[in-house]
Amino acid sequence: MKTINLWINGESTASGSKETFENFNPATGQVYAQVALGTKDDVDRAVQAAKKALHGPWGKMPLRARCDLLSRVADRIDERREEFLKAEIADTGKPIGLASKIDIPRGAANFRIFSDMLKAHGSESFWQDTDDGLGAMHYVTREPIGVIGVICPWNLPLLLMTWKVAPALAAGNTVVVKPSEETPATATLLGEVMREVGVPDGVYNVVHGFGKDSVGEALVQHPEVSAITFTGETTTGKHIMKSSANHLKKLSFELGGKNPAIIFEEADIDRAVAGTLRSAFANCGQVCLCSERVYVARSIFDTFVEKLKSQAELIAMGDPWATTTTMGPLISKTHQQKVESYFKLAKEEGAQVITGGELAKLEGDFDQGYFVKPTIWTGLSEQARCVKEEIFGPVCHIQPFDDEEEVIKMANDTEYGLCAALWTQDVSRAHRVSSQIRAGMVWVNTWYLRDLRTPFGGMKASGLGREGGIHSLNFYSELKNICVKL
Protein backbone atom coordinates (compact mmCIF):
# COMPACT_ATOMS: atom_id res chain seq x y z
CA MET A 1 0.00 0.00 0.00
CA LYS A 2 1.17 3.51 -0.83
CA THR A 3 2.31 5.78 2.03
CA ILE A 4 1.92 9.54 1.81
CA ASN A 5 4.38 11.30 4.10
CA LEU A 6 4.74 14.79 5.48
CA TRP A 7 7.15 17.11 3.65
CA ILE A 8 9.30 19.13 6.03
CA ASN A 9 12.54 21.01 5.39
CA GLY A 10 12.99 19.57 1.90
CA GLU A 11 12.38 15.94 2.80
CA SER A 12 9.69 13.33 2.97
CA THR A 13 9.21 12.38 6.61
CA ALA A 14 6.94 10.22 8.78
CA SER A 15 4.97 11.87 11.54
CA GLY A 16 6.64 12.22 14.94
CA SER A 17 4.03 9.88 16.39
CA LYS A 18 4.42 7.38 13.49
CA GLU A 19 0.63 7.30 13.31
CA THR A 20 -1.18 7.18 9.98
CA PHE A 21 -4.74 7.49 8.69
CA GLU A 22 -6.48 5.85 5.74
CA ASN A 23 -7.02 7.53 2.42
CA PHE A 24 -9.94 6.31 0.31
CA ASN A 25 -10.37 6.37 -3.45
CA PRO A 26 -13.89 7.84 -3.79
CA ALA A 27 -14.53 6.11 -7.14
CA THR A 28 -13.99 2.64 -5.67
CA GLY A 29 -14.61 3.24 -1.96
CA GLN A 30 -11.36 1.34 -1.26
CA VAL A 31 -8.39 2.42 0.88
CA TYR A 32 -5.50 3.19 -1.46
CA ALA A 33 -2.94 4.86 0.81
CA GLN A 34 -1.89 5.41 4.40
CA VAL A 35 -1.20 9.03 5.27
CA ALA A 36 1.22 10.21 7.96
CA LEU A 37 -0.83 11.87 10.70
CA GLY A 38 1.02 15.03 11.73
CA THR A 39 1.24 16.19 15.34
CA LYS A 40 1.55 19.59 16.99
CA ASP A 41 5.32 18.96 17.14
CA ASP A 42 5.41 18.26 13.40
CA VAL A 43 3.67 21.58 12.80
CA ASP A 44 6.31 23.26 14.94
CA ARG A 45 9.12 21.46 13.06
CA ALA A 46 7.64 22.71 9.78
CA VAL A 47 7.24 26.27 11.08
CA GLN A 48 10.84 26.34 12.35
CA ALA A 49 12.10 25.08 8.97
CA ALA A 50 10.01 27.74 7.21
CA LYS A 51 11.37 30.44 9.52
CA LYS A 52 14.95 29.36 8.92
CA ALA A 53 14.44 29.47 5.14
CA LEU A 54 12.89 32.91 5.42
CA HIS A 55 16.00 34.27 7.10
CA GLY A 56 18.33 32.13 4.96
CA PRO A 57 18.78 31.55 1.23
CA TRP A 58 15.17 32.22 0.26
CA GLY A 59 15.00 35.52 2.10
CA LYS A 60 18.28 36.64 0.52
CA MET A 61 17.45 35.50 -3.01
CA PRO A 62 16.93 38.31 -5.57
CA LEU A 63 13.37 38.60 -6.82
CA ARG A 64 14.26 37.57 -10.36
CA ALA A 65 15.97 34.36 -9.20
CA ARG A 66 13.03 33.55 -6.92
CA CYS A 67 10.54 34.05 -9.74
CA ASP A 68 12.65 32.01 -12.17
CA LEU A 69 12.62 29.12 -9.70
CA LEU A 70 8.83 29.31 -9.48
CA SER A 71 8.53 29.20 -13.28
CA ARG A 72 10.64 26.04 -13.16
CA VAL A 73 8.20 24.58 -10.62
CA ALA A 74 5.45 25.09 -13.24
CA ASP A 75 7.57 23.42 -15.95
CA ARG A 76 8.35 20.47 -13.70
CA ILE A 77 4.65 19.94 -12.83
CA ASP A 78 4.02 19.81 -16.58
CA GLU A 79 6.83 17.28 -17.02
CA ARG A 80 5.44 15.09 -14.21
CA ARG A 81 1.86 15.62 -15.37
CA GLU A 82 0.97 11.91 -15.46
CA GLU A 83 2.00 11.42 -11.80
CA PHE A 84 0.05 14.49 -10.71
CA LEU A 85 -2.99 13.26 -12.64
CA LYS A 86 -2.73 9.81 -11.08
CA ALA A 87 -2.46 11.27 -7.58
CA GLU A 88 -5.34 13.74 -8.04
CA ILE A 89 -7.63 11.16 -9.62
CA ALA A 90 -6.93 8.57 -6.90
CA ASP A 91 -7.71 11.17 -4.22
CA THR A 92 -10.86 12.64 -5.79
CA GLY A 93 -12.21 10.13 -8.34
CA LYS A 94 -12.73 13.03 -10.76
CA PRO A 95 -12.74 12.19 -14.49
CA ILE A 96 -9.54 12.48 -16.49
CA GLY A 97 -11.32 14.89 -18.84
CA LEU A 98 -11.62 17.37 -15.96
CA ALA A 99 -8.35 16.74 -14.10
CA SER A 100 -6.26 16.96 -17.29
CA LYS A 101 -7.89 20.20 -18.48
CA ILE A 102 -8.39 22.05 -15.20
CA ASP A 103 -6.73 20.73 -12.05
CA ILE A 104 -3.18 19.95 -13.13
CA PRO A 105 -2.47 22.47 -15.93
CA ARG A 106 -4.04 25.33 -13.99
CA GLY A 107 -2.17 24.24 -10.87
CA ALA A 108 1.08 24.62 -12.84
CA ALA A 109 -0.05 27.88 -14.46
CA ASN A 110 -0.49 29.52 -11.05
CA PHE A 111 3.30 29.45 -10.55
CA ARG A 112 3.99 30.98 -13.96
CA ILE A 113 1.39 33.68 -13.65
CA PHE A 114 2.26 34.92 -10.19
CA SER A 115 6.00 34.93 -10.81
CA ASP A 116 5.52 36.87 -14.07
CA MET A 117 3.14 39.24 -12.34
CA LEU A 118 5.56 40.02 -9.55
CA LYS A 119 8.46 40.61 -11.95
CA ALA A 120 6.33 43.02 -13.99
CA HIS A 121 4.84 44.85 -11.05
CA GLY A 122 5.94 48.41 -10.23
CA SER A 123 5.27 50.35 -7.08
CA GLU A 124 3.43 53.48 -5.97
CA SER A 125 5.34 56.71 -5.50
CA PHE A 126 4.23 60.25 -4.61
CA TRP A 127 5.93 63.61 -4.71
CA GLN A 128 4.88 65.84 -1.79
CA ASP A 129 5.39 69.61 -1.73
CA THR A 130 6.66 70.89 1.63
CA ASP A 131 6.69 74.38 3.22
CA ASP A 132 10.46 74.78 2.76
CA GLY A 133 9.99 74.29 -0.98
CA LEU A 134 12.33 71.31 -1.13
CA GLY A 135 9.68 68.58 -1.11
CA ALA A 136 9.65 64.96 -0.13
CA MET A 137 9.44 61.69 -1.98
CA HIS A 138 7.27 58.78 -0.85
CA TYR A 139 7.66 55.31 -2.32
CA VAL A 140 6.23 51.95 -1.41
CA THR A 141 8.15 48.71 -1.04
CA ARG A 142 6.81 45.19 -0.74
CA GLU A 143 8.14 42.81 1.90
CA PRO A 144 7.16 39.25 2.78
CA ILE A 145 4.87 38.74 5.78
CA GLY A 146 6.71 35.69 7.11
CA VAL A 147 5.54 32.09 7.51
CA ILE A 148 2.10 31.59 5.96
CA GLY A 149 -0.28 28.80 7.02
CA VAL A 150 -2.14 27.48 3.97
CA ILE A 151 -5.29 25.45 4.76
CA CYS A 152 -6.98 23.81 1.78
CA PRO A 153 -10.19 22.00 0.82
CA TRP A 154 -10.57 18.79 -1.19
CA ASN A 155 -12.58 19.83 -4.23
CA LEU A 156 -9.74 21.15 -6.45
CA PRO A 157 -6.75 20.11 -4.34
CA LEU A 158 -3.70 21.13 -6.41
CA LEU A 159 -5.35 24.08 -8.13
CA LEU A 160 -6.66 25.79 -4.99
CA MET A 161 -3.49 25.09 -3.02
CA THR A 162 -1.14 26.51 -5.67
CA TRP A 163 -3.48 29.49 -6.07
CA LYS A 164 -2.29 30.38 -2.55
CA VAL A 165 1.23 28.91 -2.47
CA ALA A 166 2.37 30.50 -5.77
CA PRO A 167 1.66 34.15 -4.85
CA ALA A 168 2.80 33.55 -1.25
CA LEU A 169 6.20 32.28 -2.45
CA ALA A 170 6.48 34.83 -5.26
CA ALA A 171 6.08 37.55 -2.62
CA GLY A 172 9.01 36.01 -0.71
CA ASN A 173 7.19 34.20 2.11
CA THR A 174 7.61 30.59 3.17
CA VAL A 175 4.65 28.26 3.71
CA VAL A 176 3.33 25.40 5.81
CA VAL A 177 0.48 23.71 3.94
CA LYS A 178 -2.30 21.69 5.55
CA PRO A 179 -4.04 19.90 2.67
CA SER A 180 -7.49 18.45 3.19
CA GLU A 181 -7.35 15.08 4.96
CA GLU A 182 -9.31 13.71 1.97
CA THR A 183 -6.77 14.76 -0.66
CA PRO A 184 -3.17 14.70 0.60
CA ALA A 185 -1.35 13.31 -2.46
CA THR A 186 -0.56 16.20 -4.82
CA ALA A 187 0.68 18.48 -2.01
CA THR A 188 3.38 15.95 -1.12
CA LEU A 189 4.27 15.42 -4.78
CA LEU A 190 4.73 19.17 -5.10
CA GLY A 191 7.36 18.93 -2.32
CA GLU A 192 9.44 16.64 -4.57
CA VAL A 193 9.06 19.13 -7.44
CA MET A 194 10.25 22.00 -5.24
CA ARG A 195 13.38 20.07 -4.30
CA GLU A 196 14.05 18.94 -7.88
CA VAL A 197 14.09 22.48 -9.25
CA GLY A 198 16.21 23.83 -6.39
CA VAL A 199 13.75 25.68 -4.15
CA PRO A 200 15.68 25.87 -0.84
CA ASP A 201 14.73 23.48 1.97
CA GLY A 202 12.07 24.77 4.33
CA VAL A 203 10.41 27.13 1.84
CA TYR A 204 7.55 24.71 1.17
CA ASN A 205 6.35 22.34 3.91
CA VAL A 206 3.35 20.04 4.16
CA VAL A 207 1.82 18.59 7.32
CA HIS A 208 -1.07 16.18 6.91
CA GLY A 209 -3.86 15.74 9.40
CA PHE A 210 -7.31 16.90 10.38
CA GLY A 211 -8.76 20.29 11.36
CA LYS A 212 -10.08 20.68 14.89
CA ASP A 213 -7.79 19.38 17.67
CA SER A 214 -5.29 18.39 14.99
CA VAL A 215 -2.84 19.89 12.50
CA GLY A 216 -5.23 22.59 11.20
CA GLU A 217 -5.80 24.04 14.63
CA ALA A 218 -2.12 23.73 15.62
CA LEU A 219 -1.15 25.73 12.52
CA VAL A 220 -3.76 28.41 13.16
CA GLN A 221 -2.65 28.78 16.78
CA HIS A 222 1.11 28.69 16.17
CA PRO A 223 2.52 32.02 17.38
CA GLU A 224 5.14 32.17 14.60
CA VAL A 225 2.68 31.76 11.73
CA SER A 226 1.96 35.33 10.60
CA ALA A 227 -1.02 34.78 8.29
CA ILE A 228 -3.59 32.13 7.47
CA THR A 229 -4.99 31.68 4.00
CA PHE A 230 -7.97 29.36 4.07
CA THR A 231 -10.48 27.93 1.61
CA GLY A 232 -13.31 25.83 2.99
CA GLU A 233 -16.61 25.97 4.79
CA THR A 234 -17.97 29.15 6.33
CA THR A 235 -18.31 27.48 9.76
CA THR A 236 -14.63 26.43 9.65
CA GLY A 237 -13.71 30.02 8.73
CA LYS A 238 -15.48 31.24 11.87
CA HIS A 239 -13.52 28.75 14.03
CA ILE A 240 -10.25 29.83 12.44
CA MET A 241 -11.04 33.50 12.99
CA LYS A 242 -11.72 32.90 16.68
CA SER A 243 -8.72 30.69 17.32
CA SER A 244 -6.29 32.96 15.47
CA ALA A 245 -7.50 36.11 17.25
CA ASN A 246 -4.93 35.98 20.08
CA HIS A 247 -2.09 36.50 17.63
CA LEU A 248 -3.96 38.95 15.36
CA LYS A 249 -2.99 36.95 12.29
CA LYS A 250 -3.69 38.32 8.83
CA LEU A 251 -6.57 36.28 7.34
CA SER A 252 -7.75 35.50 3.81
CA PHE A 253 -10.93 33.41 3.55
CA GLU A 254 -12.62 31.84 0.52
CA LEU A 255 -15.77 30.26 1.95
CA GLY A 256 -19.06 28.66 0.94
CA GLY A 257 -21.78 29.73 -1.47
CA LYS A 258 -25.40 29.14 -2.44
CA ASN A 259 -25.10 30.73 -5.83
CA PRO A 260 -27.96 31.79 -8.09
CA ALA A 261 -28.20 31.34 -11.85
CA ILE A 262 -30.83 33.56 -13.50
CA ILE A 263 -32.22 32.80 -16.93
CA PHE A 264 -34.20 35.68 -18.43
CA GLU A 265 -36.85 35.10 -21.10
CA GLU A 266 -34.77 36.62 -23.92
CA ALA A 267 -31.78 34.36 -23.13
CA ASP A 268 -30.40 31.98 -25.76
CA ILE A 269 -32.04 29.01 -24.10
CA ASP A 270 -29.72 26.33 -25.45
CA ARG A 271 -26.64 28.22 -24.30
CA ALA A 272 -28.29 28.80 -20.93
CA VAL A 273 -29.09 25.09 -20.58
CA ALA A 274 -25.54 24.07 -21.52
CA GLY A 275 -24.11 26.68 -19.14
CA THR A 276 -26.37 25.64 -16.27
CA LEU A 277 -25.56 21.99 -16.86
CA ARG A 278 -21.93 22.91 -16.18
CA SER A 279 -22.62 25.33 -13.36
CA ALA A 280 -24.86 22.88 -11.47
CA PHE A 281 -23.03 19.60 -12.07
CA ALA A 282 -19.33 20.31 -12.79
CA ASN A 283 -17.01 18.31 -10.52
CA CYS A 284 -20.14 16.55 -9.19
CA GLY A 285 -21.41 19.91 -7.89
CA GLN A 286 -18.36 20.24 -5.68
CA VAL A 287 -17.22 23.67 -6.82
CA CYS A 288 -17.85 26.61 -4.49
CA LEU A 289 -19.13 28.52 -7.57
CA CYS A 290 -21.79 25.96 -8.53
CA SER A 291 -25.37 27.16 -9.06
CA GLU A 292 -27.61 25.41 -6.54
CA ARG A 293 -30.44 27.95 -7.06
CA VAL A 294 -31.68 28.40 -10.60
CA TYR A 295 -34.30 31.06 -11.39
CA VAL A 296 -36.04 30.89 -14.77
CA ALA A 297 -38.50 33.37 -16.35
CA ARG A 298 -41.98 31.83 -16.12
CA SER A 299 -42.59 32.01 -19.90
CA ILE A 300 -39.68 29.62 -20.60
CA PHE A 301 -39.74 27.67 -17.31
CA ASP A 302 -41.22 24.38 -18.58
CA THR A 303 -39.03 24.29 -21.69
CA PHE A 304 -35.89 25.04 -19.66
CA VAL A 305 -36.65 22.37 -17.03
CA GLU A 306 -37.31 19.77 -19.72
CA LYS A 307 -34.12 20.58 -21.62
CA LEU A 308 -31.93 20.60 -18.49
CA LYS A 309 -33.46 17.31 -17.35
CA SER A 310 -32.72 15.58 -20.64
CA GLN A 311 -29.11 16.87 -20.63
CA ALA A 312 -28.59 15.90 -16.97
CA GLU A 313 -29.75 12.37 -17.73
CA LEU A 314 -26.97 12.04 -20.33
CA ILE A 315 -24.25 12.61 -17.72
CA ALA A 316 -22.07 9.49 -17.54
CA MET A 317 -20.57 8.28 -14.26
CA GLY A 318 -17.93 5.58 -13.88
CA ASP A 319 -14.23 4.90 -14.40
CA PRO A 320 -12.43 8.23 -13.93
CA TRP A 321 -9.81 7.16 -16.49
CA ALA A 322 -12.41 6.61 -19.24
CA THR A 323 -12.72 9.61 -21.54
CA THR A 324 -16.47 8.91 -21.78
CA THR A 325 -16.98 9.58 -18.05
CA THR A 326 -18.33 13.07 -17.48
CA MET A 327 -19.01 13.07 -13.73
CA GLY A 328 -17.16 11.53 -10.81
CA PRO A 329 -18.25 10.57 -7.29
CA LEU A 330 -18.63 12.72 -4.19
CA ILE A 331 -15.46 12.99 -2.14
CA SER A 332 -16.32 10.67 0.77
CA LYS A 333 -18.86 8.34 2.30
CA THR A 334 -19.66 11.05 4.86
CA HIS A 335 -20.29 13.61 2.14
CA GLN A 336 -22.43 11.11 0.23
CA GLN A 337 -24.51 10.62 3.40
CA LYS A 338 -24.85 14.40 3.76
CA VAL A 339 -26.08 14.82 0.18
CA GLU A 340 -28.41 11.84 0.58
CA SER A 341 -29.90 13.48 3.69
CA TYR A 342 -30.78 16.49 1.49
CA PHE A 343 -32.47 14.14 -1.01
CA LYS A 344 -34.76 13.03 1.83
CA LEU A 345 -35.20 16.54 3.19
CA ALA A 346 -36.17 17.90 -0.24
CA LYS A 347 -39.05 15.42 -0.42
CA GLU A 348 -40.15 16.31 3.12
CA GLU A 349 -40.05 19.98 2.16
CA GLY A 350 -42.35 19.28 -0.79
CA ALA A 351 -39.95 19.18 -3.75
CA GLN A 352 -40.89 17.67 -7.05
CA VAL A 353 -37.96 15.51 -8.15
CA ILE A 354 -37.48 16.22 -11.87
CA THR A 355 -34.54 13.84 -12.10
CA GLY A 356 -32.13 12.05 -9.74
CA GLY A 357 -32.69 12.44 -6.02
CA GLU A 358 -30.97 9.18 -5.14
CA LEU A 359 -27.63 7.40 -4.99
CA ALA A 360 -26.28 6.05 -8.28
CA LYS A 361 -25.58 2.31 -8.32
CA LEU A 362 -22.58 1.44 -10.47
CA GLU A 363 -21.26 -1.97 -11.41
CA GLY A 364 -17.95 -3.79 -10.99
CA ASP A 365 -14.94 -1.92 -9.55
CA PHE A 366 -17.09 1.14 -8.85
CA ASP A 367 -20.01 -0.45 -6.99
CA GLN A 368 -18.68 0.89 -3.66
CA GLY A 369 -17.92 4.38 -5.03
CA TYR A 370 -19.63 7.46 -3.60
CA PHE A 371 -21.76 8.24 -6.65
CA VAL A 372 -25.06 10.15 -6.63
CA LYS A 373 -27.32 11.05 -9.52
CA PRO A 374 -27.42 14.59 -10.88
CA THR A 375 -30.54 16.01 -9.28
CA ILE A 376 -33.06 18.68 -10.25
CA TRP A 377 -35.88 19.79 -7.95
CA THR A 378 -38.74 22.21 -8.46
CA GLY A 379 -41.61 23.34 -6.26
CA LEU A 380 -39.72 24.29 -3.08
CA SER A 381 -40.42 27.43 -1.10
CA GLU A 382 -37.64 30.02 -1.11
CA GLN A 383 -37.41 29.45 2.67
CA ALA A 384 -36.85 25.66 2.34
CA ARG A 385 -33.57 24.46 3.84
CA CYS A 386 -32.65 22.88 0.49
CA VAL A 387 -32.84 26.37 -1.06
CA LYS A 388 -31.01 28.10 1.80
CA GLU A 389 -28.17 25.73 2.76
CA GLU A 390 -25.05 24.89 0.77
CA ILE A 391 -25.30 21.19 -0.20
CA PHE A 392 -22.11 20.95 -2.31
CA GLY A 393 -23.37 18.13 -4.52
CA PRO A 394 -24.77 17.80 -8.07
CA VAL A 395 -28.13 19.35 -7.18
CA CYS A 396 -30.14 22.40 -8.14
CA HIS A 397 -33.58 23.77 -7.44
CA ILE A 398 -35.35 25.60 -10.27
CA GLN A 399 -37.79 28.38 -9.37
CA PRO A 400 -39.93 30.41 -11.83
CA PHE A 401 -40.02 34.22 -11.60
CA ASP A 402 -42.19 36.95 -13.09
CA ASP A 403 -40.07 40.10 -13.13
CA GLU A 404 -36.56 41.45 -12.73
CA GLU A 405 -37.09 43.10 -9.38
CA GLU A 406 -38.53 39.93 -7.88
CA VAL A 407 -35.68 37.72 -9.11
CA ILE A 408 -32.97 40.10 -7.87
CA LYS A 409 -34.62 40.01 -4.45
CA MET A 410 -34.72 36.21 -4.44
CA ALA A 411 -31.12 35.92 -5.68
CA ASN A 412 -29.89 38.21 -2.90
CA ASP A 413 -31.95 36.57 -0.15
CA THR A 414 -29.06 34.45 1.15
CA GLU A 415 -26.36 34.71 3.79
CA TYR A 416 -23.80 34.00 1.05
CA GLY A 417 -22.44 36.23 -1.71
CA LEU A 418 -19.89 34.35 -3.77
CA CYS A 419 -21.07 34.49 -7.40
CA ALA A 420 -24.01 34.54 -9.80
CA ALA A 421 -24.58 33.55 -13.43
CA LEU A 422 -26.95 35.61 -15.60
CA TRP A 423 -28.27 34.49 -18.97
CA THR A 424 -29.70 37.28 -21.14
CA GLN A 425 -29.40 38.84 -24.62
CA ASP A 426 -30.37 42.25 -23.27
CA VAL A 427 -27.16 44.22 -22.73
CA SER A 428 -28.78 46.86 -20.52
CA ARG A 429 -30.33 44.19 -18.38
CA ALA A 430 -26.99 42.41 -18.05
CA HIS A 431 -25.35 45.53 -16.58
CA ARG A 432 -28.38 46.64 -14.57
CA VAL A 433 -28.86 43.28 -12.84
CA SER A 434 -25.12 42.60 -12.34
CA SER A 435 -24.79 45.84 -10.41
CA GLN A 436 -27.59 44.84 -8.04
CA ILE A 437 -26.39 41.32 -7.21
CA ARG A 438 -24.59 41.16 -3.85
CA ALA A 439 -21.83 38.75 -4.87
CA GLY A 440 -18.09 38.98 -5.49
CA MET A 441 -18.34 37.67 -9.06
CA VAL A 442 -21.08 37.84 -11.69
CA TRP A 443 -20.82 35.95 -14.96
CA VAL A 444 -23.05 36.97 -17.88
CA ASN A 445 -23.72 34.30 -20.55
CA THR A 446 -20.94 32.14 -19.13
CA TRP A 447 -19.80 30.58 -15.86
CA TYR A 448 -16.41 30.07 -14.18
CA LEU A 449 -14.54 31.87 -16.96
CA ARG A 450 -11.47 32.89 -14.96
CA ASP A 451 -8.76 35.37 -15.73
CA LEU A 452 -6.20 35.00 -12.96
CA ARG A 453 -5.54 38.76 -12.91
CA THR A 454 -9.09 39.53 -11.75
CA PRO A 455 -10.34 39.60 -8.13
CA PHE A 456 -11.82 36.35 -6.88
CA GLY A 457 -13.77 36.03 -3.64
CA GLY A 458 -17.04 36.45 -1.89
CA MET A 459 -19.15 39.02 -0.06
CA LYS A 460 -21.07 38.36 3.18
CA ALA A 461 -20.54 34.80 4.55
CA SER A 462 -18.64 33.76 1.40
CA GLY A 463 -15.30 35.22 2.32
CA LEU A 464 -12.90 37.80 3.52
CA GLY A 465 -10.67 39.64 1.03
CA ARG A 466 -9.96 38.76 -2.58
CA GLU A 467 -7.45 36.53 -4.32
CA GLY A 468 -6.16 36.87 -7.89
CA GLY A 469 -3.66 39.22 -9.52
CA ILE A 470 -2.51 42.14 -7.44
CA HIS A 471 -5.07 41.25 -4.75
CA SER A 472 -3.17 38.05 -3.93
CA LEU A 473 0.18 39.80 -4.02
CA ASN A 474 -1.11 42.48 -1.66
CA PHE A 475 -2.42 39.92 0.81
CA TYR A 476 0.90 38.05 0.86
CA SER A 477 2.97 41.24 1.26
CA GLU A 478 3.58 43.88 3.86
CA LEU A 479 3.56 47.23 2.09
CA LYS A 480 6.01 49.74 3.51
CA ASN A 481 5.93 53.47 2.75
CA ILE A 482 9.34 55.15 2.75
CA CYS A 483 9.37 58.94 2.90
CA VAL A 484 12.56 60.82 1.99
CA LYS A 485 12.69 64.56 2.75
CA LEU A 486 14.85 66.47 0.34
Instruction: Give the residues lining the site for ligand NAD (CB under 6 A).
Output: 151-155, 160, 178, 180-181, 210-212, 216-217, 220, 231-233, 236, 239-240, 254-257, 288, 390, 392, 418, 458, 462-463
Distant-in-sequence, close-in-space partners of 48: CB < 8 Å, separation ≥ 6:
224
Q: How far is the CB of 341 from ligand NAD (least distance, A)?
A: 15
User: Is 32 or 210 the residue whose CB approaches ligand NAD more closely?
Assistant: 210
| Cα 4 to Cα 188: distance, rounded to the nearest angstrom | 7
DSSP conformation class of 229: E
User: Is 182 or 319 the residue whose CB approaches ligand NAD more closely?
Assistant: 182
User: Is 211 or 469 the residue whose CB approaches ligand NAD more closely?
Assistant: 211
Q: What is the dihedral of CA 75, 77, 81, 86, to 10 degrees?
A: 180
User: Is 171 or 219 the residue whose CB approaches ligand NAD more closely?
Assistant: 219
Q: How far is the CB of 331 from ligand NAD (least distance, A)?
A: 8
E-assigned strand segments in 14-57: 20-25, 30-36
Q: How far is the CB of 217 from ligand NAD (least distance, A)?
A: 4
Q: What is the dihedral of CA 189, 192, 193, 197, to 10 degrees?
A: 180
Vertex 158 angle, CA 249 and 359, to 5°: 110
Phi, psi (deg, nearest 5) at residue 38: -65, 155
| Cα 206 to Cα 178: distance, rounded to the nearest angstrom | 6
| Cα 161 to Cα 153: distance, rounded to the nearest angstrom | 8
List, by residue number, the catalytic residues: 254, 288
User: Is 243 or 355 the residue whose CB approaches ligand NAD more closely?
Assistant: 243
Measure Cα distances from 160 to 106, 186, 323, 436 in Å.
Answer: 9, 11, 24, 28
